[in-house]
Amino acid sequence: MPGNKNLYQGFFMCNHTKGLHLRDTLIVFLTRAKAQLHIMKKECSTRRKHAWRTMLMLATVLFVTVTGVKAAGKSPLEGRWDMTIDWNGKPAPGWLEVRHSGTNMLVGQVVINFGSARPVARVNFTDGKLSFAVPPQWDRGDKDLVFEGTLEGENISGSLTYTDGSIMKWTAVRAPALRPSGEVKWGKPVPVFNGKDLTGWHALGTVNQWVVDNGVLKSPKSGSNIATDQKFSDFKLHVEFRYPAESNSGVYLRGRYEVQIIDCTGPETTRDSLGSVYGFISPSEVAPKGPGEWQSYDITLVGRFVTIAVNGKEVVHNQEIPGITGGALDSKEGEPGPIYFQGDHGPIEFRNITIATAK
């Protein structure tokens, strides 16, 4: 045994002096110990084989302990954050998710007030200071968007250097989990559009191009978005819609999560095709009828979990929406919000809009 002990100590010291971390040293040792046991099956004494088995067991326990401690060391920055950006003097919504990749890397995704979720390849975080950059998406210019901030408890404050060099302040708070607490009982569906006029709705821009014609809510050209006066928490929404060729719109749930409407063809689904939660969730199949045809959405939203049926076919089943999508009215995810229709991307029509709320 003394000889074996010296052998083991020498192995660990040798590998440590070569610059290997303890975790990596243990992996090397476990691999060699298993190989050594295989060789010694017929060539070594029972006592020597027992010594190797003992050391293999101890190294395995130590490896599990070391890697377990490593995994438990979660960064305080990890999680989802609801952001508010001071965009040219006006509050604009944003969202940030940070998660670990491997043992010591942080990655994530970020949403600002337009576009879709932007992947973040690396989030730097040291001594409470964070920074990351993302390339432009629908932004003008070719410079990266650079985010910097400071974590203090459950709040972040920082700055965004935009593609044009302008610097905007931003703050963030932890996003609510919004997990369902149990089975939901629903009330009866009620109309939120009377088919006669815009009672119960208001335009979100200075120019209101929305009109009502023969029971149909129409946006004949690009202009303002439109939202319900009433706000909702959990609900079942039914809405029928029709678009011309190459048009684009969306149904915003609580004014924060866009279910995409777009003239799309082809067998593949994407995170921006008809029936998707824009930038986050792809539908399971392509189910559009095509331009000029009346189509339908049946959408159930409970907390941040959504089910979507397109033309009677369920294409998203109880999927979690990670955070707000581009175009959201605000980032206050824990609060009720309106239903709003996108009218700034092209002509669109809606009819037979009903909603059932949770009792």
Residue pair 97/323 in contact (Cβ under 8 Å)? The answer is yes
**Same-domain check for residues 327 and 208:** yes
> What's the number of domains the chain is made of?
3
214-255 pLDDT tens trace: 999 999 999 999 999 999 999 999 999 999 998 999 999 999
pLDDT for 181 equals 87
- pLDDT above 80: residue 265: no
SS3 51: helix
- Please give the residue that has the higher pLDDT: either 15 or 342: 342
pLDDT for 74 equals 86
**Same-domain check for residues 205 and 58:** no
113-131 pLDDT tens trace: 999 999 999 999 999 999 9
Average pLDDT, the chain: 86
* Closest-CA residue to 173 (of 337, 51, 334, 9): 334
Please report which confidence band the pLDDT of residue 182 belongs to, taking 50, 70 and 90 as the band edges: confident
125-141 mean pLDDT: 95
Name which of 30-34, 144-148, 317-321 the model is least confident about: 30-34
197-212 pLDDT tens trace: 999 999 999 989 999 9
**Same-domain check for residues 40 and 115:** no
Name which of 15-29, 179-193, 222-236, 338-352 the model is least confident about: 15-29
Please report which confidence band the pLDDT of residue 28 belongs to, taking 50, 70 and 90 as the band edges: low
**Same-domain check for residues 154 and 225:** no
250-260 exposure pattern, b = at least 16 Cβ within 10 A, e = fewer: bbbbbbbbbbb
pLDDT for 287 equals 75
Question: Is 184 domain-assigned?
Answer: no
- Cα–chain center distance at 144: 21
CA dihedral 204, 209, 212, 218 (to 10 degrees): -90
Report how many helices (DSSP H) and strands (DSSP E) the chain contains, helices first: 3, 22
CATH code at position 131: 2.40.128.20
- pLDDT above 50: residue 9: no
Question: Is 111 domain-assigned?
Answer: yes
- Please give the residue that has the higher pLDDT: either 30 or 104: 104
pLDDT for 80 equals 98
What does residue 289 show for φ and ψ, rounded to 5 degrees? -85, -25
Question: Is 185 domain-assigned?
Answer: no
148-175 mean pLDDT: 97
**Same-domain check for residues 343 and 246:** yes
* Closest-CA residue to 143 (of 175, 167, 111): 167
**Same-domain check for residues 122 and 200:** no
CATH code at position 289: 2.60.120.560
267-308 pLDDT tens trace: 788 888 899 999 999 999 877 788 999 999 999 999 999 999
Percentage with pLDDT > 70 across the chain: 79
**Same-domain check for residues 90 and 120:** yes
- pLDDT above 70: residue 71: no
**Same-domain check for residues 261 and 219:** yes
47-64 exposure pattern, b = at least 16 Cβ within 10 A, e = fewer: eeeebbeebbeebeeebe
SS3 186: strand
What is the extent of the structural domain holding 134?
A: 79-174
Question: Is 181 domain-assigned?
Answer: no
**Same-domain check for residues 38 and 139:** no
**Same-domain check for residues 339 and 211:** yes
Percentage with pLDDT > 90 across the chain: 70
